[in-house]
Structure 1
Amino acid sequence: MLQHFLSGARWNDDAVRDRVATWAVDRLGDLNVVLVVDETGDEKSSTDAVGAARQYSGALGGVGLCQVAVHLSYATPTGHTLIDRRLFLPSAWAADEERRELAGVREEVMFASKPQLAIDMLARLPEDGVTDAWVAADEFYGGRETRTAIRHVAYRYVIAVKTDHRVTTPASTSTVIDLVKRLPARSWQRLRTGSGTKGDRHYDWAMIDVFADGTPNRHQAGQSTLLVRRHRYTGTLSFYRCWSATPRPLHELVSVVCRRWRIEEDFQAAKGLAGLDQGQVTSWTSWHRWSLISMIAYALLAITTSLERSGTTQSAQVEFVPVSCRELVKLLRQFTLPRPRQDIDPEHALRWSVWRRRHQYQAATCHRRWNEVTAASIT
C-alpha cells in the first residue's frame, strides 16, 4: 500500500508541497523571516537509488556513497521548519539515459549545481507571498551567481565566504583575511549570540563597508557589507558577505548569522523524528514523495511546538525548558499514536513530562552559572 502511494498513486506532490509551504508560512508569520539554504546527505548501499553516487556529504563527514539534497528552511522568531527540497542529480547520473529511465527521472530534469537548485527554490517563494526576507547560507553558496540571483528576487542576504574571497573598498581590493588585519581594535564589538546548556555564547564582531558586486541590471547598488566574526578565546575568524537595499544595524546581521543554524536543527529533528533519511526508495517520484511526507510530519511537529511555546505561561516560581519536538512526540505516543492501553495513566505521563522539563531547566541554569564563573576568571 505504501509503495503504491509513493510510486503508483496519482497525486500532485508539487501542489501538495506548495500548500504545505503556504500553511507553514501562515502559521510562523512573515516578520523577520530568514530563508536558510543547505544540503544534507543520506548514506546508501547501492547506486540503484536515484542520484546515489560517491560524493561529499557533511552528514557523513566526508566522501561516501549517498544521495544529497538541497533543502530550504523558513525561520522566524517564533519557529522554523523545512518547506522545500531538491534532489541533487550528479552529472554522471544526468547524462546516463539508461539509469534515468530505470529511475523514472523526468525528461525536463537536467543537471543543476547545488547553488542552482537553491536559486530555483528561492525563485518560487515570491509567488507564494514571501516578498520580504533574508537569505542565509554557508560559503558553498557564496558565489557571485547565487548572490546576484538572490537580488533578482528582491531578497537580502548574509552568506558566508571563504578567507580568500576578494572584496573592494574605497582604499583597495584585497582578500577578506588581509583586509581584517588592518582593522583597528576599536572596530570590534562583543555581542551575545545565543545560549546553550553550558552558558551564553559571545563573539567579537566587526563591519566593513565594501563595494557591491554582481548587481543585476537596472538595480540599485544598495548597501554591501563584510561582516567578520572572531572567537573571543581562539581568535578564529569567519566572514560573511551581506547585502540589503538600505543600511542595517550590526545586531540584525548577527541575528541572521545565528538563525542560519536553524536548518541544522531541522535536519536533526526531521531525520530523527520524521524519517527524512529512512526512505527505502529508488525512483525519482518515490524519493520526492517520501521526502515530502516526512517534511509534512516534521512541519506539524515544529509548528505545534512553536504554538505551544508561544501559548504557555510559566509561573515565576517554577520554570521549564521550552517544549521540544522530541517531547511532543513522546506525549503523542502516550496519548494519540498507539492504541490506548489500560495501564497508561494520563496524569502520570503529564507529571513526568513536567518533572523532566523542570529539571532540564535547572541543569541548564547551573551550567550557565558555572560557565559565567569560569569565563570571568579567564578574562
Structure 2
Amino acid sequence: MRGLLAGLERKNGWTLAEHAGAVSPDGTQRLLRTADWDVDGVRDDVRDYVLDALGDPVSGVFVVDETGFIKKGTRSAGVQRQYTGTSGKIDNCQLGVFLAYASARGRALIDRELYLPTSWTEDRDRCAKADVPDEVGFATKPQLGIAMLERARSAGVLTTGAWVTADEAYGQNPTFRTWLTERQIPFVLATRNDDVLRCTDGHRRQVKVLATIAGARDRDTDASGWEQRSIGAGAHGQRVYDWTAVALDTTGLPDGWEHWLLVRRQTEPDEGKTVRELAFYRCAAPAATPLRELIRVAGARWAIEECFQTAKNEAGLDHYQVRSWRAWYAHITLAMLAAAYLAATRATERDQDGEKGDLQPATTS
C-alpha cells in the first residue's frame, strides 16, 4: 500500500518490491497470486470505508462503467481484442466493470468485476491456465453491473431512493433498468438517438424524433421548458448545457413514479457546424423529482472517469504485471483502497478548508 501511494513512475511487482527494500518481486507476486487473505472481504472494507468517508444520503450517486487495461499476449485472464474507451479503439486488452460512489464530498471506486468474453468462457482449458474458477461463466457487462449493485444493496449502502447512473451500454439494457425499477432505485441512464421509447400517447418513437418534437434542434429559438445548467467543471471551465425532459409512458414503474427522456443540448454548435450536439438519457424517479435533479445525476456519471484517471495515475490501477484471475482482483482491490484513501484524505482537507464540492443536490425552491 505504501508503494501504491508512493511517487513511483510505475507500480508493478518489481518497483513495489524495490520500494519495500526487497531484492526480488517474489513476495509481491505471492501476495497477489496465492497469499491467504480475503480479497473480496477487503473489497467490502473498501466500500464501507468510502461510504463512511464520502457518504451523503442527499447528494450520493452510484455510477457503473468499464475501463480497459491494455495488455500484450493472450494469457492474461479475459484478454482479447475488443473496444475500449481507454484507447478509443479496438485493442488487445482486459475490461474491468466498476462501481463508483460519488457525492458532494468526493468520489471513489467501490467494486470491480473482470469481464470474461465468450472466447474465454467457452474454453475451459484456457480459463484453468489463468486460474479462472470453474463456476465462473459468461456474464454481460450489465449483468456484472447488477451483481455489484446487488452487493451494495445487500450491504445496506444502496438503499431505495439512491440514484444510479451509467452510460448507454447499461441504459439500453432492459434487464438493467428492470432490476432498478423493481427495487425502486431511481436512475438516469444514457441512451442512443435510435432508441425507441413509448410515449404517453401509447405510440413508440425514436429518441431523435422525440428530441425534434421537444424543439431540441431549433437553432434560432428556445422553447419554454429548456433550462441552462452546468454539470460541473471541465478542462475548459464549467460544462454548461441546455436541458429539457419529455414525459414517457410509465408502464412497469412503481406507483407515483414518472418516466422521462432527458435531452442535453450544446448551448452553441461546434466551430464549423450549424446544429448543436445532443445527448439523451432515460430517467425514472418519483414524480416530484425536479428537472435540475435529473441534470445533476446525469452530470455525476463523469465522476467515475475521474476515479479511473486518479486510480491509474496515482494508485497504479493499471500498472500490474499479473495474468491470473485472482491476481487481477487482488491488485485492483488494493489499488482501489489506495485511491479511496486519497479521496478520503482530500475530503477531510476540504472540510477543514470549508470548501464545497460539485454534485450538490438540487433544491426544491
**TM-score with structure 2 length normalisation?**
0.82
Please, what is the CA RMSD of the aligned residues? 1.7
Listed one character per residue, the Cα deviations across residues 55-82 of structure 1 (whole Å, up to 9, x for unaligned) are: 1101021101000010110011111100
Distance 2:230 2:88 in 1: 29
Deviation at 1:36, TM superposition (A): 0.5
Q: Which residue of 2 aligns with 1:272?
A: 313
**Which aligned pairs between 1:177-188 and structure 2 lie closer than 5 A?**
177-184=208-215, 185-188=223-226
Structure index of larger Rg:
1
Secondary structure of 1:186's counterpart equals: coil
Residues 56 and 104 in structure 2, CA contact (< 8 A), matched pair in contact too: no
Distance 1:197 1:145 in 2: 35
Q: Which has the higher contact order (CA 8 A, sep 6+)?
A: 2
Listed one character per residue, the Cα deviations across residues 157-177 of structure 1 (whole Å, up to 9, x for unaligned) are: 000011011112233321111
Distance 2:97 2:152 in 1: 16
Change (3 A) 1:30 1:200: closer
Q: Which of 124, 132, 149 is the aligned partner of 2:179?
A: 149
Distance 1:79 1:258 in 2: 14
Deviation at 1:150, TM superposition (A): 1.6
Deviation at 1:221, TM superposition (A): 6.7
**Which aligned pairs between 1:1-379 and structure 2 lie closer than 5 A?**
1-31=27-57, 32-130=59-157, 131=159, 132-142=161-171, 143-171=173-201, 172-184=203-215, 185-196=223-234, 198-212=236-250, 215=253, 219-220=254-255, 222-234=257-269, 235-313=276-354
Listed one character per residue, the Cα deviations across residues 197-220 of structure 1 (whole Å, up to 9, x for unaligned) are: 5333321111111013554xxx43
Structure 2 stretches lacking a partner, 5+ long? 1-26, 216-222, 270-275, 358-365
One-letter amino acid matched to 1:193: I
One-letter amino acid matched to 1:232: T
One-letter amino acid matched to 1:188: W
Residues 241 and 265 in structure 2, CA contact (< 8 A), matched pair in contact too: yes
Residues 103 and 282 in structure 1, CA contact (< 8 A), matched pair in contact too: yes
Moved more, 121-130 or 291-300: 121-130
Distance 2:238 2:32 in 1: 45
Distance 1:264 1:240 in 2: 18
Distance 1:213 1:106 in 2: 40
Deviation at 1:180, TM superposition (A): 1.6
Residues 72 and 84 in structure 1, CA contact (< 8 A), matched pair in contact too: yes
Structure 1 stretches lacking a partner, 5+ long? 315-320, 323-379
Residues 194 and 200 in structure 1, CA contact (< 8 A), matched pair in contact too: yes
Residues 56 and 105 in structure 2, CA contact (< 8 A), matched pair in contact too: no
Distance 1:105 1:205 in 2: 45
Secondary structure of 1:14's counterpart equals: helix
One-letter amino acid matched to 1:200: Q
Moved more, 124-133 or 283-292: 124-133
One-letter amino acid matched to 2:89: G
Distance 2:232 2:106 in 1: 15
Secondary structure of 1:280's counterpart equals: coil
Secondary structure of 2:97's counterpart equals: strand
Secondary structure of 2:213's counterpart equals: coil
One-letter amino acid matched to 1:9: A
Distance 1:197 1:300 in 2: 24
Percent identity of paired positions between Structure 1 and Structure 2: 41
Distance 1:17 1:153 in 2: 24
Residues 212 and 221 in structure 1, CA contact (< 8 A), matched pair in contact too: no
Secondary structure of 1:187's counterpart equals: coil
Residues 265 and 279 in structure 2, CA contact (< 8 A), matched pair in contact too: yes
One-letter amino acid matched to 1:308: E
Distance 1:198 1:285 in 2: 40
Secondary structure of 2:284's counterpart equals: strand
Listed one character per residue, the Cα deviations across residues 275-311 of structure 1 (whole Å, up to 9, x for unaligned) are: 1001100001101000001001000011111111121
Residues 123 and 153 in structure 1, CA contact (< 8 A), matched pair in contact too: no
